Amino acid sequence: NDGRVYNFAAGPATLPANVVKKAQQDLYNWQGCGMSIMEMSHRGKEFLSVIQKAEADLRALLAIPDNYEVLFLQGGASTLFSAIPLNLCSPEDTADFIVTGSWGDKAYKEAQKYCKANLAWSGKATKYTSIPSSGSELKLTPGAKFVHVCANETIHGVEFKDWYPAVGEGTILVADMSSNFCSKPVDVSKFGVIYAGAQKNVGPSGVTIAIVRKDLVGGAQPTTPVMLDFKTHADNKSLYNTPPCFAIYMCGLVFEDLLHQGGLEAIARKNNDKAEILYRAIDGSDGFYKCPVEASVRSVMNVPFTMASPEMEAAFVKEAAGKGMVQLKGHRSVGGVRASIYNAMPRAGVEKLVALMKDFQARHQ
Ligand code: PMP
């Protein structure tokens, strides 16, 4: 044991051990150039090679079509909550929001400032434990400029699996994939914009990735701040101003690692396997552990569960931490326990958690 714990945090989250070690090895003197990535010009040939390779590897991983821009942005996914309506809408346009949890709700509320935001579906009444199962449940607006979904709700643990709402001709499908980015293959061509903060599946905090169909670049509202205009970053290959160089470098190492592991189909198989182990343990506990989420839409990334009382949950979280499994406390808004099992969480981490769950139940039942 080298002192590393199993980190079940929702984000910033665990990174692949080999990636962290490689960064450590290369930190002081990157590829013999006499300085670290953090110290070099973002316009020098060294950093250009880093950002270009990161983009190329991400394009390969997600099979991103050529008519899409890949943008490395700052401000977190939260900044995209305003940038999206600013870039895709005029203030008179309507945009539909399918709100399946807290993050989708934040996107919906922010968009109200910049367009006519319509709540096309909300899971609030059932405490965000489901997602719409077909288009007939949605109150979509004919002629809406875009439809926004949060592909995976990090706090509530609901995930769109392979179904996404069919949007009308001329309507743009937009997805916040912050917490399931690069966890499985995605048909990028279905979407006008996909965006994700890096700090869950693909890197450290500080960089947000946006994949934007090229015809959607260049139509921002006139008052859009230059830094929020997709065109600024598309025209300048994400180098309009100083980018988060180190975060982009780390994402590049993660993309390389994901390709080495066999790409996103292989990653999805590993992720499904880990999630199945954990959900099976919850469902097989005779109600000692309960997952409130409807089975068909349970997140493969964020697994929330509850126990008989908050005191018992606290005792479990504490005991887990003592055994090197940390950050299992549920989000402060919902309580309970939450295990985030992103790409970089090894199967052994999930198995160790399940072993503790069984042992804990035997002692507390
Ligand atoms: N969307 C989702 C699904 C998230 O999980 C988060 C962060 N937890 C955000 C958006 C906000 O991301 P950021 O902190 O990068 O602004």
Say what the ipTM of the complex is.
0.99
* Structure token digits, residue 164: 């996404």
Q: Cα–Cα distances in Å, from 141 out to 116, 120, 260?
A: 11, 8, 43
Neighbouring-strand partners of residue 304: 338
Residues 144 and 282 grouped into a single domain = no
Cα separation, 102 vs 96, in Å, equals 16
- 177 belongs to a structural domain: yes
**Domain of 332, in residue numbers:** 263-364
Q: Map residue 224 onto helix, strand or coil.
A: coil
Residues 53 and 174 grouped into a single domain = yes
Tens place of pLDDT for every residue, the chain, 365 residues?
689 999 999 999 999 999 999 999 999 999 999 999 999 999 999 999 999 999 999 999 999 999 999 999 999 999 999 999 999 999 999 999 999 999 999 999 999 999 999 999 999 999 999 999 888 999 999 999 999 999 999 999 999 998 999 998 899 999 999 999 999 999 999 999 999 999 999 999 999 999 999 999 999 999 999 999 999 999 999 999 999 999 999 999 999 999 999 999 999 999 999 999 999 999 999 999 999 999 999 999 999 999 999 999 999 999 999 999 999 999 999 999 999 999 999 999 999 999 999 999 999 98
Residues 323 and 310 grouped into a single domain = yes
Cα separation, 197 vs 180, in Å, equals 10
Residues with CB under 6 A from ligand 1: 11, 76-78, 103, 150, 154, 176, 178-179, 197, 208
Residues 59 and 119 grouped into a single domain = yes
- 305 belongs to a structural domain: yes
Q: Of all atoms in ligand 1, which is nearest to the CA of residue 205?
A: 15
- Which among 139, 136, 145 has a CA at the least distance from the CA of 99? 139
Residues 168 and 295 grouped into a single domain = no
- 13 belongs to a structural domain: no
**Contact 55/202 with Cβ under 8 angstroms?**
no
Residues 242 and 124 grouped into a single domain = yes
Helices marked H in the chain: 17-27, 45-62, 76-88, 102-111, 230-235, 245-260, 264-283, 310-322, 347-364
- 4 belongs to a structural domain: no
- 216 belongs to a structural domain: yes
Residues 221 and 267 grouped into a single domain = no
Instruction: Quote the ligand 1 centre to 276 CA distance (angstroms).
Output: 25
End-of-domain residue from the set 260, 293, 326: 260
* Domains held by the chain: number: 2
Q: The domain spanning residue 175 has which CATH number?
A: 3.40.640.10
End-of-domain residue from the set 234, 260, 286: 260
Cα separation, 8 vs 327, in Å, equals 5
End-of-domain residue from the set 260, 286, 311: 260
The residues that are catalytic are 103, 176, 200
Cα separation, 111 vs 12, in Å, equals 25
Q: Is the pTM of this model over 0.90?
A: yes
Residues 30 and 122 grouped into a single domain = yes
Residues 311 and 351 grouped into a single domain = yes
CA angle 162, 168, 172 (to 5 degrees): 70
Q: The domain spanning residue 342 has which CATH number?
A: 3.90.1150.10
Phi and psi torsions of 199, nearest 5°: -75, 15
Q: Map residue 147 onto helix, strand or coil.
A: strand
Instruction: Quote the ligand 1 centre to 15 CA distance (angstroms).
Output: 17
Instruction: Quote the ligand 1 centre to 176 CA distance (angstroms).
Output: 8
